[in-house]
């Protein structure tokens, strides 16, 4: 039977309950956002006892649906002050679903102490774990796997989360035990840290054991969906060959690669930190250019990058290669890997950390292009020094501390790897998504740059509002299913894509959903998130980009962002 697990951290008592009727048809982001709207007071302090953290596998997680192992984590974000859903790959989502767990809710706050939770098929317990306080995520994951179960999935935070830094993430491990699959954005690691919970160990040897009502029907639909993915040029060829960092060169050529803290749109040395270079170096050092973050993924866009110090950074994603590379004018992939590894270990969102270092470079605290200075600065985080805490607090805070006006953030969250002036559909998404600047919330790079799902000129305003709206609705729905967002490349280009997802859902749950229902679900998720944010005090003024994008031209296309009031039309459904 499907169940809700509540970890009351005030009393350290566990409550296992039947899933409330209202939540039975929900999963992933649909569930986390509805739950946060229902149970978290919008004006509460994100690090206080009234905030709650909810961890939920997607609706299709734990089945044979390809690439369906995404885990959603929700709560009130300490970084943005609004609602947050951050989602991750890794192996834990499938394990939770296979155990019949709809969600784990973490609530309350202990007076003191560090705890872990242990989840097995038979029991759930909260265990004092002061001995694990301050551990980096890699060591912590290794210790917990050894202590409890080598095959366990470990959801955990690093010291940044324990220190309640605003951009701390929550990670879980890949099949090899790398604690690098982050629900990174928005500081949910600080929420977990505020509740004294260092880790959740999920023990389950099964991966594809989630209950399915009509197994044959499901199998047929899942096979068809795998076929749709594999036949698509991006999902079937592009992503498996070079991973997400294959984007580096095309975004650079398109002139929308944010360089030197969003000053220009091209970086001369972009090729040095691109997916092609990564594949070359990784393979030469015995790593892998392609790798699956969870079993059953057909796109395998991850990688394994051996570093000169003998450690392994797996993966280096495009966003991370960008924020520590062109954004800081750093062209050394080993430096990028080191910065990435430090973030994974200490428990920080890489995008936020990269943008924050960009702001510190803007302020002259460290020089642009100085990789060693960037590493040294990031190493301050684990020590909890004032500089380390400023870095952990994110770009918006760092900008305030140092008096910097060029701060690429919306609703307090840093802007990712596509400049909104020459990828305007993404600009609309950054400005309006309830999440704070987030490329995954409505990835208009598809139609703006990649020519997937049609074409909308990235340097013009026409069509961008509608593009972002449609993508935000579709993305919210995909985030409910547990499917990796990258399935969208195929689904946008193949009219059988969405009906096949609906067919899988109906076969699994015995429902009679239609494609229209899925669209309605996406819209409802966004409405819920907007309602929470409105209650938390957000207004239209929060749905705008930072001033400098409207004032300063971006080369090479000499573009400025111009959309303002039009942005208020995004959610007119």
Taking a C-beta distance cutoff of 8 angstroms, is the pair 16, 5 a contact?
yes
User: Considering beta carbons, is residue 301 or 359 the nearer one to other proteins?
Assistant: 301
**Per CB under 8 A, which of residues 438..497 are in contact with other proteins?**
439-440, 443, 445-446, 450-452, 455, 459, 485-486, 489
- The residue among 270 and 382 lying less far from other proteins, judged by its C-beta, is 270
Binding other proteins by CB under 8 A: which of 235, 330, 348, 359?
235
Q: Which residue, 129 or 417, is less far from other proteins as judged by CB? A: 417
Q: Are 365 and 380 in contact (CB under 8 A)?
A: no
CB contact set of 565 (below 8 Å; sequence gap of 6+): none
> What's the closest the beta carbon of residue 35 comes to other proteins, in angstroms?
26
DSSP-assigned states of every residue in 255-282: T---BTTTTBS--TTGGGGSHHHHHHHH
Closer residue to other proteins, CB minimum distance, 81 or 275:
275
Binding flag, residue 247, other proteins (CB under 8 A) = yes
Q: Indicate whether 557 belongs to the interface with other proteins (CB under 8 A).
A: yes
Query: Beta strands of 203-310 (E only): which ranges?
Result: 288-291, 302-306
CA distance 451 to 442: 15
User: Which residues on adjacent β-strands are paired with residue 76?
Assistant: 83
For residue 194, the minimal CB distance to other proteins (Å) is 30
- Reported in sequence order, the residue ranges of 342-477 that DSSP labels E, i.e. its strands, are 409-410, 413-414
Cβ at position 262, least distance to other proteins in Å: 17
Of the candidates 401, 488, 537, the residue with the CA atom closest to the CA atom of residue 46:
537
Burial 463-480 (b: 16+ CB within 10 A, else e): bbbebbbbbbbbbbbbbb
Q: Quick count: other Cβ atoms within 10 Å of Cβ 386?
A: 9
Using CB under 8 A, which of 274, 356, 468, 506 touches other proteins?
A: 274
Distance (Å, rounded) from C-alpha 107 to C-alpha 11? 10
When asked if residue 88 is in the footprint of other proteins (CB under 8 A), the reply is no
Rule CB under 8 A: say whether 415 interacts with other proteins: no
Residue 245 interacts with other proteins (CB under 8 A): yes or no: yes
Side-chain-facing half-sphere of 103: CA atoms under 13 Å: 34
Per-residue CA distances from 317 to 2, 181, 246, 268 (Å): 34, 11, 9, 20
- Nearest residue to 112 (alpha-carbon basis) of 7, 9, 199, 6: 9
- Report DSSP state, residue 206: -
- Kindly state whether residue 249 participates in binding other proteins, applying the rule CB under 8 A: yes
Check residue 281 for interaction with other proteins (CB under 8 A): no
Asked if 271 interacts with other proteins (CB under 8 A), we say: yes
C-beta of 510 vs 556, nearer to other proteins: 556
The yes or no reply on residue 244 touching other proteins (CB under 8 A) is yes
Q: Which is nearer to other proteins, 217 or 241 (CB)?
A: 241
**What element of type H or E holds 521?**
helix 515-536
CB of 3 to other proteins, least distance (A): 33
Report the residue from 46, 158, 238, 482 that binds other proteins according to the rule CB under 8 A: 238
- Contact status: 264 vs other proteins (CB under 8 A): no
Q: Least distance in Å: CB of 10 to other proteins?
A: 39
Residue 31: which of 498, 541, 528 has the closest Cα?
A: 528
**Least distance CB 462 / other proteins (angstroms):** 15
φ, ψ at 77 (rounded to 5°): -80, 130
Bridge-based pairing of strands 71-76 and 83-88 is antiparallel
Choose the stretch contacting other proteins; rule: CB under 8 A; options: 143-151, 236-244, 283-291, 502-510: 236-244
**Beta bridge partners of residue 71, listed in sequence order:** 57, 88
User: Which among 238-246, 285-293, 498-506, 538-546 is the span making contact with other proteins, rule CB under 8 A?
Assistant: 238-246
Applying CB under 8 A, which of residues 130, 237, 547, 566 lies at the interface with other proteins? 237
Given the DSSP bridges, would you call strands 71-76 and 53-57 parallel, antiparallel or unpaired? Answer: antiparallel
Interface with other proteins (CB under 8 A), residue from 20, 113, 233, 510? 233
Q: Choose between 149 and 249: whose C-beta lies nearer to other proteins.
A: 249
- Is 302 an interacting residue with respect to other proteins (CB under 8 A)? no
- For other proteins, give the closer residue by CB, 319 or 529: 319
CA 440 to chain centre: 8
**How near is the Cβ of 456 to other proteins at its closest, in Å?**
11
Residue 558 interacting with other proteins (CB under 8 A): no
Beta strand pairing status for 312-313 and 302-306?
A: antiparallel
Give me the 303-342 binding string for other proteins, x by CB under 8 A, dash otherwise: --------------xxx-----------------------
Q: Is 67 in the site for other proteins (CB under 8 A)?
A: no
**556 sits near other proteins (criterion: CB under 8 A):** yes
Q: Tell me the C-alpha distance between 265 and 259, whole Å.
A: 6
Q: In terms of CB distance, is 366 or 485 closer to other proteins?
A: 485
Instruction: Choose the stretch contacting other proteins; rule: CB under 8 A; options: 210-218, 405-413, 436-444, 505-513.
Output: 436-444
**Distance of closest approach, residue 288 Cβ to other proteins, in angstroms:** 16
Sheet of strand 153-156, all strands in order from the earlier edge strand to the far edge: 124-128, 115-119, 197-202, 153-156, 170-172, 181-183
13-18, strands of its sheet edge to edge = 13-18, 3-8, 101-107, 53-57, 71-76, 83-88
Q: How far is CA 266 from CA 253, 414, 562, in A?
A: 7, 19, 21
- Is 262 a binding residue for other proteins by CB under 8 A? The answer is no
Judged by the rule CB under 8 A, the positions of this chain that interact with other proteins are 233-235, 237-239, 241-247, 249-250, 253-255, 265, 270-271, 274-276, 301, 317-319, 422, 439-440, 443, 445-446, 450-452, 455, 459, 485-486, 489, 556-557
């Amino acid at each position: 039977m499907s169940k809700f697990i509540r970890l009351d951290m005030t009393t350290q008592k566990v409550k296992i309950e039947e899933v409330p009727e209202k939540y039975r048809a929900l999963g992933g982001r649909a569930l986390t956002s509805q739950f946060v709207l229902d149970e978290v007071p919008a004006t509460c302090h994100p690090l206080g006892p009234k905030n709650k953290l909810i961890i939920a596998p997607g609706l299709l997680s734990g089945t044979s649906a390809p690439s369906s192992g995404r885990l959603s984590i929700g709560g009130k974000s300490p970084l943005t002050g609004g609602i947050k859903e951050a989602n991750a790959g890794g192996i834990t989502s499938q394990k939770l679903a296979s155990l019949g767990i709809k969600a784990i809710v973490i609530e309350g706050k202990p007076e003191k102490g560090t705890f872990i939770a242990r989840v097995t098929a038979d029991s759930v317990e909260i265990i004092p774990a002061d001995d694990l306080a301050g551990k980096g995520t890699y060591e912590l994951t290794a210790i917990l796997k050894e202590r409890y179960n080598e095959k366990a999935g470990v959801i955990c935070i690093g010291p940044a989360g324990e220190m309640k830094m605003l951009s701390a993430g929550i990670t879980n491990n890949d099949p090899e035990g790398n604690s690098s699959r982050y629900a990174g954005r928005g500081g949910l690691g600080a929420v977990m840290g505020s509740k004294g919970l260092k880790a959740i160990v999920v023990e389950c040897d099964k991966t594809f054991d989630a209950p399915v009502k009509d197994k044959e029907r499901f199998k047929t639909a899942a096979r068809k969906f795998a076929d749709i993915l594999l036949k698509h040029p991006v999902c079937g060829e592009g992503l498996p060959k070079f991973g997400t960092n294959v984007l580096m060169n095309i975004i650079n050529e398109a002139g929308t690669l944010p360089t030197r803290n969003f000053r220009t749109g091209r970086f001369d040395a972009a090729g040095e930190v691109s997916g092609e270079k990564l594949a070359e170096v990784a393979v030469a050092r015995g790593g892998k250019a392609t790798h699956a973050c969870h079993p059953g993924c057909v796109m395998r866009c991850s990688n394994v990058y051996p570093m000169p110090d003998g450690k392994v950074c797996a993966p280096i994603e495009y966003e991370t290669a960008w924020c520590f590379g062109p954004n800081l004018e750093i062209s050394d992939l080993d430096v990028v890997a080191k910065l990435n590894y430090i973030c994974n270990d200490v428990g920080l969102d890489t995008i936020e950390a990269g943008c924050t270092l960009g702001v510190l470079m803007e302020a002259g605290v460290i020089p642009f292009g100085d990789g060693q200075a960037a590493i040294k600065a990031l190493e301050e985080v684990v020590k909890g020094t004032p500089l380390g805490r400023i870095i952990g607090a994110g770009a918006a805070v760092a900008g305030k501390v140092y008096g910097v006006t060029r701060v690429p953030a919306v609703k307090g969250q840093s802007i990712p790897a596509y400049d909104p002036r020459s990828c305007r559909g993404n600009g609309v998404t950054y400005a309006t998504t309830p999440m704070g600047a987030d490329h995954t919330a409505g990835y208009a790079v598809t139609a703006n740059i990649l020519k997937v799902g049609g074409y909308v000129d990235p340097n013009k305003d026409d069509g961008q509002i509608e593009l972002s709206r449609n993508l935000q609705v579709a993305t919210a729905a995909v985030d409910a299913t547990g499917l990796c967002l990258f399935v969208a490349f195929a689904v946008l280009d193949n009219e059988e894509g969405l009906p096949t997802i609906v067919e899988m859902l109906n076969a699994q749950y015995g429902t009679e959903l239609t494609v229209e229902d899925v669209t309605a679900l996406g819209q409802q998720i966004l409405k819920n998130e907007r309602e929470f944010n409105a209650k938390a005090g957000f207004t239209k003024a929060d749905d705008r980009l930072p001033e400098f994008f409207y004032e300063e031209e971006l080369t090479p296309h000499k573009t400025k962002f111009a959309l303002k009031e039009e942005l208020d039309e995004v959610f007119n459904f």
